[in-house]
Amino acid sequence: MTGLPRTLLASAFAAAILVSPAVADTPTLLGSFKDWSAFQSNTSQGRTCYALAKPKSSEPRKAKRDPIYLLISDWPLRKTRSEPEIVPGYEYKDGSTVTAAVGSEKFEFFTKNDGDAGSAWVKEQSNEVNFVEAMKRGSQVVVTGTSQRGTLTHDTYSLSGFSAALEKIHSACGM
């Protein structure tokens, strides 16, 4: 395992806040796996475990954005396993969709803005498993979305270490 960059730990804490408004504790690093890290946190909605990555590249490069990441969460009390979420670092354009491409496979996500932050989730819940399985087989995910200002963004995430981080969160949350 490699050392965890301070910005990734800050992003993990931000993810815990977005995932549950009432965070009971600071996220605990379960491990770093190449380009992915695994965390556990206790929230008002119970324990959650999640794998998190920041993009390797983002276009346009000069766009002003908050931290950007892709995470996969386990929620034992909700019996939710491998729930993908995209956090773009901006508010999405109202009514827009986001696409995530893994190789030739494309997945649609719906968007939701909360305050000045946006998030996106797989549009058809039945496709969550397909998306995660594609991520296990792939080498990168390219996420395309549109900001509230109309800026089209492309974020490329490496999938190196994804499977190991996913196994770690499943084990930590007993899922």
- pLDDT of 44 reads 84
The reported pLDDT for the residue numbered 164 is 98
Calpha distance 70→156 (Å, rounded): 10
Residue numbers of the chain with a pLDDT score lower than 70: 1-24
Residue 1 lies in a domain: no
Q: Is 153 in contact with 144 (CB distance < 8 Å)? A: yes
Residue 46 lies in a domain: yes
Task: Identify whether 51 is part of a domain.
Answer: yes
- Read off the pTM: 0.86
156 within domain boundaries: yes
Q: What is the CATH number of the domain that holds 99?
A: 2.60.40.1880
Instruction: Give the Cα separation of 128 and 86 in Å (integer).
Output: 13
**Does the N-terminal peptide bond of residue 60 adopt cis geometry, omega within 30 degrees of 0?**
yes
Residue span of the structural domain in which 106 resides:
6-172
- What is the total count of domains within the chain? 1
Instruction: Report strand pairing: 140-146 vs 152-158.
Output: antiparallel
Residue 149 falls inside a structural domain? yes
| Residue-level pLDDT at 23 | 43
In a domain, 30, yes or no: yes
- 80 is a domain residue: yes
For position 117, what pLDDT does the model report? 93
Whether 43 is covered by a domain: the verdict is yes
